[in-house]
């Protein structure tokens, strides 16, 4: 499965997702060498485990700082032709539980200690609307996030915090279900038109339709007002940490937090890679906007609805009249529709970012916004999958330059995915080109004067993926990365070879993209194995620190 996006869409009514065990997200145990006891090994009690955990991980951290990383370099130039790229790691989606507390706090703390010892700059966490404002309008609960901020600060790390105004659950990468706040769901039941709908009338409850951005559909407030109040409350609660511990606020603007339409929902097999997806413009507010736009250009007949020949979610471009080589996309009507559809998305992004800019101005925290890496059918003329998602990018038109200009105007970092992907790794029939897509986005951000940050789209632990990110992070003839966020912290990340690869990658990024390979065996422990001992002779291990 060659998906590039950690999307989280589902159709109404939402399908229940089985939450993975928390022990699958974080390392269930940290193992340390001990000499073989003369008698039967006795289980350590919890307090003694805590002491061993702290001492051992601190020793690893001290050794690593001295032997592997030395004094952390300042942001920016490290020397001729090099620039440091700080690396962050995404925390599990359920870091804050539905009950409102930190999930497995002791395991989380131990993992943060390990990440710090590896030279990681910080971590990213979703600040879920469905959790923080679930008790009612303007009733916020930030306490679990406050506990996390303090934990991150104690471990000497920084935080990227995502204003996640979307639903989590039901798709690749989602191991939990976090719907929108209950009071918002009640409004959705009373007025189904406030969520996106496709041509068949299927509604998607993951994110409020941008068609009603400026309408008081949420108990007397507009969605933009609701997002603004949420961000303002967050700012006031964490004012003392902004710019110091919380260094970046990523502003959610659509499904999965990305500035796009939910054009490729995976729930119940609605969409499968590499389908073209479907336009999401059939809720009553989007239809009213389309009608008004058609009237304004004197072509009222163009406002009756979206394209009738755009096909279905799992078709290919040539299967449709709209997206085929010489299809409707390149006619006067097609250009009108795509301009309207993409402009609505840009206007939505600008509204949300303008609110965030006003609220967080002067706090010292940077703002960022995420753009999806939709690389399938990129080699076709129409770029169908990008078009249905709202990016008016074709063989004849650059769809990412307007997005980059909008973000540059607001002083927002453009965060882009699929940085780890190579063209040669993609299926030939899908017309993929993640490398060309990333290159185009890099050129667009450079032309717009915007900053660019990156993420990997899929969970990858191999040297090939890291090498691709390293190559992408360099400026070259356009622009390099200001930061990279790795998806995602889980149990696998701390396994022996995976951990070794991450440590080498972080060191390489800290040295401006020069590839660093750590030795297979390191008696000084600078490779920071957690739970693994290199070498042929392995000693018995005692479970410590992290309860199951």
- Specify binding-site residues for substrate: 126, 166, 174, 370, 375, 417, 456-457, 488
Please confirm, yes or no, whether 258 is among the known catalytic residues.
Answer: yes
Rounded to the nearest 10 degrees, how much is the dihedral formed by the CA atoms of 399, 403, 406, 410?
A: -170
Nearest to 391 by CA among 290, 293, 265, 260: 260
Phi, psi of 127 (to 5 degrees): -100, 95
Instruction: Report the C-alpha gap between 464 and 425 in whole angstroms.
Output: 10
Find the catalytic residue in 121, 206, 455, 511.
Answer: 455
**Helix (H), strand (E), coil (C) string for 230-299:** HHHHHHHHCCCCECCCEEEEEECCCHHHECCCCCCCCHHHCCCCCCCCCCCCCCHHHHHHHHHHHHHCCC
The answer for residues whose C-beta is within 8 angstroms of residue 302's C-beta and 6 or more apart is 294, 333, 336, 337
The answer for residues whose C-beta is within 8 angstroms of residue 456's C-beta and 6 or more apart is 417, 418, 419, 420, 465, 469, 486, 487
Instruction: Report the C-alpha gap between 438 and 441 in whole angstroms.
Output: 5
Find the catalytic residue in 53, 121, 248, 258.
Answer: 258
Instruction: Report the C-alpha gap between 204 and 519 in whole angstroms.
Output: 49
Phi, psi of 216 (to 5 degrees): -80, 65
Stretch (H or E) spanning 543: strand 541-544
Please confirm, yes or no, whether 455 is among the known catalytic residues.
Answer: yes
Cα–chain center distance at 173: 11
Instruction: Report the C-alpha gap between 54 and 60 in whole angstroms.
Output: 10
CA geometry: angle 314, 318, 321, nearest 5 deg: 95
Q: Return binding residues.
A: 126, 166, 174, 370, 375, 417, 456-457, 488
List, by residue number, the catalytic residues.
258, 455
């Amino acid at each position: 499965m060659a998906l590039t996006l950690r999307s989280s869409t589902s159709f109404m009514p939402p399908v229940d997702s089985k939450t993975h065990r928390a022990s699958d997200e974080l390392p269930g145990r940290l193992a340390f060498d001990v000499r073989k006891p003369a008698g039967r090994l006795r289980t350590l009690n919890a307090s003694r485990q805590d002491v061993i955990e702290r001492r051992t991980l601190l020793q690893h951290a001290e050794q690593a700082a001295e032997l592997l990383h030395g004094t952390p370099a300042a942001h920016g130039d490290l020397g001729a032709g090099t620039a440091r790229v700080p690396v962050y790691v995404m925390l599990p989606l359920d870091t804050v539980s539905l009950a409102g507390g930190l999930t497995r706090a002791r395991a989380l703390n131990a993992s943060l200690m390990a990440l710090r010892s590896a030279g990681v700059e910080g971590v990213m966490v979703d600040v879920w609307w469905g959790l923080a404002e679930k008790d009612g309008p303007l009733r916020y609960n930030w306490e679990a996030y406050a506990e996390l901020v303090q934990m991150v600060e104690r471990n000497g790390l920084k935080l990227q915090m995502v204003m996640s105004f979307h639903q989590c659950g039901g798709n690749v990468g989602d191991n939990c279900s976090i719907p929108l706040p209950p009071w918002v769901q009640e409004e959705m039941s009373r007025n189904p038109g406030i969520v996106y709908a496709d041509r068949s009338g299927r509604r998607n409850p993951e994110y409020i339709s941008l068609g009603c951005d400026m309408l008081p559909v949420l108990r007397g407030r507009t969605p933009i007002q609701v997002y603004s109040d949420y961000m303002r409350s967050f700012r006031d609660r964490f004012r003392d940490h902004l710019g110091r511990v919380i260094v970046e606020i990523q502003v959610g603007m659509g499904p999965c937090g990305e500035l796009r339409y939910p054009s490729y929902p995976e729930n119940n097999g609605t969409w499968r890679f590499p389908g073209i997806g479907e336009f999401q413009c059939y809720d009553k507010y989007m239809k009213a906007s389309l009608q008004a736009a058609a009237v304004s250009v004197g072509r009222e007949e163009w406002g009756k609805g979206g394209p009738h020949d755009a096909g279905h979610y799992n078709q290919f471009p040539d299967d449709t009249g709209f997206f085929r080589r010489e299809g409707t996309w390149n006619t006067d009507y097609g250009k009108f529709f795509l301009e309207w559809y993409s402009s609505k998305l840009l206007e939505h992004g600008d509204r949300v970012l303008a609110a965030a800019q006003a609220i967080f101005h002067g706090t010292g925290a940077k703002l960022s916004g995420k753009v999806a890496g939709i690389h399938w059918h990129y080699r076709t003329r129409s770029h169908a999958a990008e078009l249905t998602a709202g990016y008016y990018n074709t063989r004849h038109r650059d769809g990412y330059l307007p997005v980059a200009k909008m973000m540059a105007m607001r002083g927002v970092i453009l965060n882009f995915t699929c940085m780890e992907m190579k063209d040669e790794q993609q299926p030939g029939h899908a017309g993929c080109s993640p490398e060309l897509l990333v290159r185009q986005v890099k050129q667009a951000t450079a032309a717009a004067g915007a900053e660019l940050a990156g993420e990997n789209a899929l969970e990858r632990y191999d040297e090939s993926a890291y090498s691709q990110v390293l190559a992408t992070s360099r400026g070259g003839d356009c622009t390099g990365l200001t930061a990279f966020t790795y998806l995602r912290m889980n149990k696998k990340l701390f396994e022996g070879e995976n951990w070794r690869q991450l440590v080498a990658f972080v060191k390489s990024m800290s040295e401006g993209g020069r590839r660093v390979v750590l030795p297979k065996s390191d008696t000084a422990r600078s490779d920071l194995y957690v739970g693994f001992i290199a070498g042929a002779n392995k000693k018995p291990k005692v479970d410590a620190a992290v309860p199951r």
